[in-house]
Amino acid sequence: MPIVKNVSRAVNQLLQSSGCGCGISVVPVRRIGISPRQVASDASFHSVSFSRSDHPRVLITGGLGQLGVGLAKLLRKRFGKNNVILSDIRKPADNVFYSGPFIYSDILDYKNLREIVVNNRITWLFHYSALLSAVGEANVPLARAVNITGLHNVLDIAAEHNLRLFVPSTIGAFGPTSPRDPTPDLCIQRPRTIYGVSKVHAELMGEYYHYRYGLDFRCLRYPGIISADSQPGGGTTDYAVQIFHDAIKTGKFQCNLKPDTRLPMMYIDDCLKATLEVMEAPAEALSMRTYNISAMSFSPEELAQEVQKHVPELQVTYSVDAVRQAIADSWPMNFDDSNARRDWGWKHDYDLPELVTTMFSFLGSDSRIAQAS
């Protein structure tokens, strides 16, 4: 590997010519590809000074996605505004930018990510950067880079700096040969999408780093997440968000899945609560590194019926997208989350009627909601 040799030779020459006459110890760390990941033990970084606190210092990657902004809001209430840093490669909206610390971070740029962790004394990292299922299938090379190479960068940095690392997984980590009703924590996983493959990879790599390097890795398999705070982002379960927007704006909704396609779902507040709870759980309480979590399971037809209790004039039609339908047909119908409920006390708050009422409340649809008789 000539690049590594050239870099090593340059570093040795630099150390030998050091004007201070003192030895500088170089600590090797794990490598990805041919990048020599080394740092001088007395290297000097510009660090912002913060008051000492028992609160974690949190970095959220991919922070402008469906879950990042909501998680930042929850964590800032818990740990303080300046202890939680959102990051992404996109420009944030004004309300996000002024709500707390935000920085540019590209997870494919190892050096940039490492500097952020060091300069801001990060202790907890939530890794949300990923391309979702349908979007990933449309651009497999990009999904492979973001979802797998980016994860490798995060794992190495987390292990090196002794971070508590959370990486979400998904119902998409299962495949057509997995038991579907219910799907347990431990079973055959043979997903048919690059998104699912990358999430199985994340689960296994995180567990490996935990046992090999002592990394405090924690992971939850999310069901479909429903939120009023964000627009659908290319996922197979996004129909369950789109129906609310269309019910309010046009009174017409066209679903891209079959009416009887049953999938596990969850309101975002339950998802964020579970994420914080598993991160705060004592290490000795965790019997595994990756858990299923669930709240409810429904089909498009059942969701439409519940929505029509609020908007009776809603017209629902079905135009099945073959790609999304094939993905959904390979996913669990119900999650078995008994281990999470036993180990760290997971308990959801929202069932389907509460979810629908809450969504309409947050979307400000009073003018269209009719009173159900």
Contact predicate 218/289, CB 8 Å: yes
Cβ count near 225 (within 10 Å): 24
Q: What is the residue type of 331?
A: W
Residues in the chain: 373
Is residue 151 within 8 A of residue 202, CB to CB? The reply is yes
Q: Kindly name the residue from 110, 195, 209, 350 that is annotated as catalytic.
A: 195
Residue 288 CA to residue 302 CA, distance in Å, equals 34
309/303 Cα distance (integer angstroms): 10
From the list 233, 220, 238, the residue with the least C-alpha distance to 136 is 233
Q: Is 104 a catalytic residue?
A: no
**Which residue type is seen at 105?**
S
Q: In which residue are the tokens 């028992």 written? A: 54
String of DSSP letters for 209-228: HHHHH--EEEEEEE-EEE-S
Query: What does residue 127 show for φ and ψ, rounded to 5 degrees?
Result: -100, 95
Residues marked as catalytic: 195
